[in-house]
Amino acid sequence: MSRHSQEHQNASLSVQLREGTKQSHTMAENMAFIKCFLKGVVDKRTYSRYVGNFYFVYSALEEGFAKLRDHPIVGQLYYPELWRKASLEKDLNYFIGPHWPSVVKPSPACQVYVNRIREVVEKDPVLLIAHAYTRYIGDLSGGQILKNIARRAMGLPPGEGTAFYDFEQIPHEGKFKQRYRAQLDALGLDQVTIERIVAEANYAFKLNMDLFRELEGNWLLSMARLAWNSLLGQFQRKPARSEVAA
C-alpha cells in the first residue's frame, strides 16, 4: 500500500467523504441545468419540477431518519433542524397552489432516487449517512447563493418561493457544518464501512445528476417555447409592407 493510500485510509469520515466525492461534485456542478441556474437562466415551470422532485427525495430521506432515530449509528445524525420537507411544501404551494399534492408526481429519475433511499433504510441503514451528507451539506454550503439567483431570475417577491434555502433553526450555517462533520467523525466507523459510505455518496451524486439531466430536457423545451413566443410576438407586431407603403 502506498503512503498516500495509507494516509487516506487514516483520514476521518468527513475528510474521506469530501475527498472521495470531489470528482462527482465537479461533474454535478458542470451539468447544463446547474450551469444555467447559476447564470440565472431558469423559469418557474422547470423550477417547480425541480422543487417537486426534491419534495419526494427529502420526504424519503427524513422519513428514514425518523424511523432510524434510535439506531446506534444513524441516530447520532438525527438533526430535524436540517429537514427540508416542510419548506418544500411551502414552495410548491407558492408555485403551483394549494392543489399541488394532487398534481405533483415524482419523475422516473426521482422515483429511482426515492426507491434507493428506502432500500437503504430497510436493508443497510448506515448508508443513509451518505445521502444526508450529499444533500444537506450541499444545501448549507450554497443555499444562500442559489436563493438569491432564483429570486432574481424568476422575479420572486421577498420571502416567497425560496423557503427551501431558509434554515430558520440554524443561525450560523458554517458553525453547524463544523458540528455536523465533527459528529460524522465521532461515529467511530471502520475503514470498510467508511469506504461503503463514500461509494454510496458518489452514487447519490449520480442520482442527483440523473434528476438534473431530466430537468435539462424540460428547461430546453421551456427556453425554446419562450424564444418562439418572443419571435412570434415580434412578427405579429411588425407592420405589413402595404401598411408601411401607405
Output the tens digit of pLDDT for each of the chain's 246 residues: 444 445 455 689 999 999 999 999 999 989 988 888 888 888 898 899 999 999 999 999 999 999 999 999 999 999 999 999 999 999 999 999 999 999 999 999 999 999 999 999 999 999 999 999 999 998 998 887 889 999 999 999 988 999 999 999 999 999 999 999 999 999 999 999 999 999 999 999 999 999 999 988 755 555 444 444 445 545 455 554 444 444
pLDDT value of position 242 = 43
User: Taking the model in full, what pTM does it have?
Assistant: 0.85
Type of residue numbered 246: A
What is the crossing angle of helices 191-237 and 22-29, to 10°? 10
Structural contact between residues 147 and 169, judged by C-beta atoms closer than 8 angstroms: no
Q: Computed over its alpha carbons, how large is the radius of gyration of the chain? A: 21
Looking at the chain, list the stretches that DSSP marks H as alpha helix, in order from N- to C-terminal side.
Answer: 3-10, 13-20, 22-29, 32-38, 44-67, 85-95, 100-103, 108-123, 128-132, 138-154, 173-185, 191-237, 241-245
**Residue 46, C-alpha cell as written in the block:** 422547470
- Residue ranges of domains in the chain: 11-245
Structural contact between residues 154 and 226, judged by C-beta atoms closer than 8 angstroms: no
CA 197/CA 203 separation, integer angstroms: 10
Structural contact between residues 28 and 38, judged by C-beta atoms closer than 8 angstroms: no
For domain 11-245, the CATH superfamily is Heme oxygenase-like (1.20.910.10)
The count of other CB atoms within 10 Å of the CB of residue 121 is 22
For 129, phi then psi, to 5°, come to: -55, -40
User: Which residues have CB under 8 Å from 23's CB, separation 6+?
Assistant: none
Alpha carbon 209 to chain centroid distance? 10
pLDDT value of position 53 = 97
